[in-house]
Every structure is written in C-alpha cells, then in structure tokens.
Chain A
C-alpha cells in the first residue's frame, strides 16, 4: 500500500525540529531511518500530518566517546555505522552484537540506533541491550533537555518517556567494568526476525576469587517492556557460574517471567526458551570474563 498524504520537512537544528514537533496545529512525527515508521505509513497504521526528518541535523550524526568514557550515539547515527565503529566494538561489544541481530544489512544501512529505541518494539534488540548496559537517554523538548534512565525510558509497547513534542537526541552508554563478560542470545523463527524471546547478560568477575561480582540480566519478548530479573541476578552473584548456579538461575527465570501467549508462541514456550537462553548466555558471558 501507499502512505496517505503528509508534509515533509528536514530542519537543520534541534531547535527547529522541536518547534515543528511542538506545533499544535498539525500532528508531527519524527523520521530518521524510517525502517519502522515507513512500513506503518505504507499500511496506513500511522497517518501523521507532517514528518520531521532529523537526519540533516549535523550534531545528531555524531558517535563518540566523551571525556568520562561514555559512548554517545546521536539520533541520526545509523545502525550499520554504529556496529562498525571500532570504539563501540571494543568497549561495548554487546551493543554491536545486538545491532547485528537487527533484521538484515539492508535494514541496518538505513535504520538508526535511537530510532529503534524510540520506536520501542518490546521484542527488538536495542531496548534490551540498552537496559542491560544501563543506558541513559537525552531528550530535548520545548521545556528544555532532560536525561532519563533506561528503567524509566521504556513505558509500554511502542511507548517511551519521549513526549509527542520532544526528540530523543542521544543515547549514552556508560563504560563497563574491565573484568566483565557479555552475551546476547535470541530465539527466533528465522534469522533476522524479531525474537520470540531473547536475553542480554553482563557478568562481572571478582578479581582473584573467580566468582560473579555483579550480574545484569534482561529479557526481550517477555513483556511490553524489556524485563530485568533481579532474582536471576541475585542467584548468579557470588556463584561460580557453574552448572548448579545456572540451574538455580534458570529456575528464577521460570518463576519470574510472565510472558503472554501470541500467534508465535505460548507463554510456556517463551518461559522455557528464556530459561535455556539464560544458561547458554551466562556460560558464554562467563567464558568472556
């Protein structure tokens, strides 16, 4: 199908973009890569009156590591470019792995990192990775700029803390501890599909003792938002990440996740899949510590 008619504008500053979004006369929508929005326009699931293309705003095209060691990715940075960045691959390999699981190269060449986060499909890779990596979100609107944590950013399916008159300008990933290992695993029907269920794991090893010092475990496809399971993390902390510890951690997944049934899988199938993925991911993460 074809989109219904709308106007298109490509401002050159964040200020202009926000003014366009804040215009109450017309319903405006941000477009960057368009890889989620344009299918919705084509199927007429979305009918905005004006599209605000933010990819011509120079400051949003930056990807860099700041003086404090944070990785900062601007709203216009495409997924393929981010995943190929040496600093990102070196310091945040979980993020690179998550991006490489998004659709196909043809999609990642256009899709943006921030666009996927702001779109927030709960089965998508980047929201899960962002929560696992404790990302912060810089949001600019007519009332100024604010920073939101990953816990507060994802509100519900296709819904985030970004208001209609605001723009997600940047996502910030803090540096990770030196002795950490990571894994990003998904259960998908086919390569490139959204996950039926997925998991991101970050384990930190205690220097000397050979036990897990800290753990972060986040699931995708299990709820309307990425789910961090603190009970699972607690089951891993202090353990040697061996078979017994992983079995106990898998038990907390079965008890702690409450996914819903849908056309792709039953809740029970998702829970079982999540528990298996956790064991596999923790084993990989521990080997990388």
Chain B
C-alpha cells in the first residue's frame, strides 16, 4: 500500500487591505499542510477558527488568562490568543479536531473526559484536553504538583474541576499505569 499523502487544508483569503502588513506562511495543522496569506496582527486563535474553520479551539478572555484557546504548537501546550499566526511559520500545530478525526476512536484523554464527565458546559474543555494530551506525551509520569501546575493554566467557569481532575488522573493512569 502506498503511504497516503495528506491533502492540503484550504484557507479562505480575505481581500488584502494593507499589503505591507501581509505575509505568506506555511505550517502544518493536524498533520495537513497549510499555506496562507495572513495579516501581521492576526492571532493564531483567529487563524485557526476563522481562516481554517477549526472552531474547536475556543476563544475566551483574549489576554492569556483563561486557557480555553490552548493548542499544541510543536507538541507544547500554548495560548493561541497570545501568538500571532505569522510567528508560526514552519511549526506543527495540533488542535482538538486533530485528536480523533472523522470516525476515528476517541483518544484515551478524550475517553477519560467522557467517562468521568470532565466538563460542565464544555467551553473550556478543548483547552483542558490539549494540555492533558501533552501531559500524557511526556516521557515520565508528571507528579501531582506538575499536574496541578498544568491545570492551573485553565479556568472552568462552571467550577467543574473535580471531574476534570479525575479525568486527567484516569488518562495518566491509562498511559503510565496506576
């Protein structure tokens, strides 16, 4: 069987209003190559949502406090509201849509959030899931303090932290053994 070549992701290009402030960027999003014209001031969160149609990345506070917009850039969880799209040339980005595309089974992290009901309204969930995904990809099991530190980068306004924490522990147990 020949290896399948990922199909490029199409980006919508709005009219170029200020040509000097526009740049062409190429990057990878959820395993698919993307080339797009972006204005300097375009935030990565808005690039993902408005230009690529990946609306799973949620925008909450827009100044780096809430963590709802967290995705993985080169495997590290970061705030997309504090990154310009133009800064992401050449990077590899993973959003919540990339975890279980199409009919693929849920990842162990998603399954754990599902089983433990690690959500209330679900708005903050994509950010929590992406940070937890990064925790499960570490080479060693993160200790309790590291888990708390990572989760403290996210706010749940429904205050549903107990089940989120339970989901994270289950995902880590699954990955590293109890």
Contacts and interface: CB of A to CB of B under 8 A. Distances in A.
B162 interface: no
Given A38-B64, A107-B64, A5 B39 contact: yes
Contacts, number: 93
Interface string B119-157: 000000000000100000000000000001110110000
A10 B83 CA distance: 14
**A contact face: mostly helix, strand, loop, or mixed:** loop
Interface residues of A, number: 32
Given A6-B41, A35-B64, A107-B64, 14 more contacts: A2-B41, A5-B39, A7-B40, A8-B23, A38-B43, A39-B82, A104-B150, A104-B153, A105-B150, A106-B79, A110-B82, A190-B152, A191-B152, A192-B153
B152 A104 contact: yes
Contacts of B149: 100, 104-105, 191-192
A13 interface: no
Of listed B21, B78, B150, residue having the most chain A CB within 10 A: B78
A19 interface: no
B62 interface: yes
A8 B21 contact: yes
Interface of B: 18, 20-21, 23, 39-41, 43, 46, 62-64, 67, 70, 73, 76-79, 81-84, 86-87, 89, 131, 148-150, 152-153
Contacts of A259: none
A145 interface: no
Interface string A29-45: 00100110011011100
Nearest to B20: A7
A274 interface: no
A8 B40 CA distance: 6
A43 B82 CA distance: 12
A107 B41 contact: no
A6 B87 CA distance: 14
Contacts of A55: 87
A51 interface: yes
Contact of A38 (B76, B84, B131, B148): B84
A34 B83 contact: yes
B76 A109 contact: yes
A3 interface: yes
A8 B43 contact: no
B40 A106 contact: no
A42 B41 CA distance: 9
A38 B83 contact: yes
A105 B70 CA distance: 11
A53 interface: yes
Contacts of A192: 149, 152-153
Contact of A5 (B40, B73, B82): B40
8 contacts: A7-B40, A8-B21, A8-B23, A31-B87, A35-B64, A39-B82, A105-B150, A110-B83
B102 to A, nearest CB: 28
